[in-house]
Amino acid sequence: MFDKPVILLSATIKPDPLIHIGRIDSEEREEDYYKAVSFYLKRGYPVVFVENSDFNSERIQNLSRKSPYFEYITFLSEVSHLGKAKGEFEIINYALTNSKLLSEVDYVIKITGRYIISNIDSLLLPTNAITKDVYINPTRNLKWADTRLMMMKKSFYFSYFLPMAIRNFDENNKVFMENIFMKSLLKYLLDGGELNLWPAYPAYQGIDGTHNEIVIFSLFKSWKYNLYYQIKTFIFKHRA
């Protein structure tokens, strides 16, 4: 068992410019992912980097010299042309099938690969403290949940998320990854499951690939979001 949780980073280094918009330059995207992988490895986290454009980045692969617990897995997506959510979903499935590191744990912690979560140490629980089936950040109207960070046991993934995704993924009708995650949680709650929010709110740093916009959590923004999140957590815990 690892001292710290295994992190799955999803990535597309060379997107198809005829399909994708926003940040499509492969050199810029490679740099984004390099920074994120470096950040998590330096903090002692085992990292599984799964890339779906079959791009072999020697620069990122060489980071394995800094940690014995780093996997670089690449393949060519068969479904990413159908939408971002389809590609992300495919990456998670491919990772669970092909990663040795993930095969040794019973949970999935997926972070969108361009994002650095600067407060990662206060957000992720120690490996032996990941006891709940799923940790989530739902919206107030319960329509969707943040999927930049996803934390769940494999049992939740295969029993709830995966079946819900197979039945309901439909980006043409605005049913996205975020909606599927929320739908799977609601089904889980109906079956008697327990709602558990993230231990803290992630301080995201990086690039929003869809809009090619910088995401920065300043000290004030982090304070504001964490205050709001504490209030939200209190309300969810004490709901009637």
DSSP state of 76: B
CATH of 7-237, one of 3.90.550, 3.30.310, 1.10.1760, 2.30.42: 3.90.550
* Crossing angle of the two packed helices 177-190 and 84-98, in degrees rounded to 10: 60
pLDDT digits (tens, 9 = 90+) for 181-213: 999 999 999 999 999 999 888 999 988 767 677
Containing 107, the helix (H) or strand (E) segment is strand 107-112
Which residue, 111, 116, 148, 114, is CA-closest to 33? 114
**Chain length of the chain:** 240
Query: pLDDT 10s per residue in the chain (240 long)?
Result: 678 999 999 999 998 776 666 678 899 999 999 999 999 999 999 999 999 999 999 999 999 888 889 999 999 988 776 777 788 899 999 999 999 999 999 999 999 999 999 999 988 877 677 889 999 999 878 899 999 999 999 999 999 999 999 898 888 888 899 999 999 999 999 999 999 999 888 999 988 767 677 887 777 677 777 777 777 777 776 554
Tens digits of residue pLDDT in 66-91: 888 999 999 998 877 677 778 889 99
Q: For residue 81, what is the DSSP state?
A: G
pTM to 2 decimals? 0.91
Closest-CA residue to 33 (of 93, 82, 73): 73
Calpha distance 181→63 (Å, rounded): 32
